[in-house]
Amino acid sequence: MRRAIVGLLTGALLLAGIVGVRRATPGVDEVYAPIARPGEVGEQVNTTAFQIRVDRVQVGRTVRISDGYGLVGPPKTTAGVWVVVSATVAATTGALQVQGARLRTADGAEYLASSISGTLDKTDLQPGIPAYGPILFEIPPGRLAGAVLSVTTHAVKALDHLGPAADIDLGLSGVYAKRLVDHAPQSLTVGKVREL
């Protein structure tokens, strides 16, 4: 009788163990996710392929692109708000672009940088020649709080498996995000990318 109970208990424990391990095992997407280094605004984040520092985060209702010679383009609208992240990026070993710039919101949605050309995420970067410029995002105003900037080298996720990445906390607390949205200027003029 005792033997049977011990046997049953052992079986139940093993089964629970199996269920636990199955639940805790990360999915294939997590296993192959890019290898991200964390950081925050004003801090230099070093990955194996690039270094990045976010210098400033602004929010605006529309953006206008300046060409660097004093000419400013027409305002570009959005159904949400524009988030302009100004950052400095440098390639460390080889030529690349940081095309996989995304705002990851608190609920897990990912907003790839706007396809508007001439921004930092579409700039050819070569080792030893850092560049400073804007990355543009469109996002519903209610999703700004808690958003994190995630940067990889490709816009297509399949090319970034186990690749270099930076996850930068933009310090967007609920109160701060609300203030940014409430006081967002009607128009934000965005400069061109500069090599430093």
Partner 1 sequence: MSWRKNLGYGLGLLVLVPAVIAAKVLPWQEKYQTLTGKGGREAVAAHGQPARLNGMEWRLKSITEGKPPQEFARPLPPRTKIAIVLTSVKPLTEQASKWFGATTGSTCKFTLTDAAGRTWAPSFRTDLAPKSGYAASCFALDADYKPAPLPVGKELTTQTVFVVPADAFTSLRVEVRLTPDPGTVRLAR
Partner 2 sequence: MTTPEPSPGRTESRRGPLRPWIAITAVVFTLATVLALAWPAGGLREAKPDIPHRRLGETTTGHRFAINPHKVSYATKDPAPAYGDAKDGRFLTIEFEVENVSDQTATVNDLAFRLYLAVSPGSTVIDRFKDKTAGFVIRDGRYDREQLQPGLPERVMIVYTVPAGRPDPTSLTLSFEDQEYTSGFQSELSEWYPGDMLAIYDLEVGR
Q: Which residues lie near partner 2 (CB under 8 A)?
A: 28-29, 32, 74-80, 102, 107-112, 114-116, 138-140, 143, 158, 161
Structure letter (DSSP) for residue 128: T
Report phi then psi at 134, rounded to 5: -90, 150
Query: Among partner 1, partner 2, none, what binds residue 93 when CB lies within 5 to 8 Å by partner kind?
Result: partner 1
* Helices vs strands, H then E, count in the chain: 3, 12
Q: How far is the CB of 132 from partner 1 (least distance, A)?
A: 11
Between 111 and 132, name the residue whose CB sits nearer to partner 1: 132
Helix (H, G, I), strand (E, B) or coil at 39: strand
Task: Indicate which single residue of 80, 127, 141, 191 sits in contact with partner 1 (rule: CB under 8 A).
Answer: 127
Q: Output b/e per residue, 122-141; b: 16+ Cβ within 10 A.
A: bbebeeeebbbbbbbbbbeb
State the nearest-atom distance from the C-beta of 108 to partner 2, in Å: 6
Closer to partner 1 at the Cβ: 75 or 127? 127
Least separation in angstroms between residue 194's CB and partner 2 is 24
CB of 26 to partner 2, least distance (A): 12
Instruction: Give least dist CB 108 to partner 1, A.
Output: 28
Query: How far apart, in whole angstroms, are the C-alpha atoms of residue 153 and residue 97?
Result: 6
Question: Given the rule CB under 8 A, which of 5-13, 20-28, 87-95, 110-118 is the region that contacts partner 1?
Answer: 87-95
- Binding residues among 142-161 for partner 1 as defined by CB under 8 A: 159
**67 counts as binding partner 1 under rule CB under 8 A:** no
Q: What is the nearest approach in angstroms of partner 1 to the Cβ of residue 95?
A: 4
Burial letters 12-48, b for 16+ CB under 10 A, else e: eeeeeeeeeeeeeeeeeeeeebbebbebebeeebebe
Nearest CA to 57 among 194, 192, 169, 165? 169
**Residue from 8, 13, 18, 129 that binds partner 1 (CB under 8 A)?**
129
- Residue 31 DSSP one-character state: H
Residue the block writes with tokens 């070569």: 126
Contact residues for partner 1 (CB under 8 A)? 92-95, 124, 126-129, 159, 195-196
